[in-house]
Amino acid sequence: MIQIRCYNVMFILKCKNESEYYKIECFGKRLQHETIRMTDIFKWCNIQHIQYRTYFIYRKDFPLSANLWNLYTYIRGSIEQYLNKYEEEKI
């Protein structure tokens, strides 16, 4: 399992084999050099068929307004991902 933190959100990525581990390793190197949003990580995991879980973490070092905005973004992104998966299964 590999962890990626994007502001208040922790992504836990599950590697089933070496191929998936390599993909995640390459993605991690990309993250070090680029600014990526949470939705980009959601999309990448889905395109690569990497299983993941997410957790929202309240950060005391962030102002309350930033935590609330990040929580809103996290919930909105999670709902969008759920709806996208539901629509794909319907087809």
Full-model pTM: 0.76
Full residue range of the structural domain in which residue 50 is found: 2-90
Tens digits of residue pLDDT in 12-70: 999 889 999 899 888 888 888 888 888 888 889 888 989 999 999 999 999 999 999 99
Q: What is the tally of structural domains in the chain?
A: 1
Q: What angle do CA 89, 24, 35 make, to 5 degrees?
A: 95
Closest residue by Cα to residue 13 from 69, 49, 51, 58:
51
Residue by residue, DSSP assigns 37-83 as -HHHHHHHHHHHT-EEEEEE---TTS-HHHHHHHHHHHHHHHHHHHH
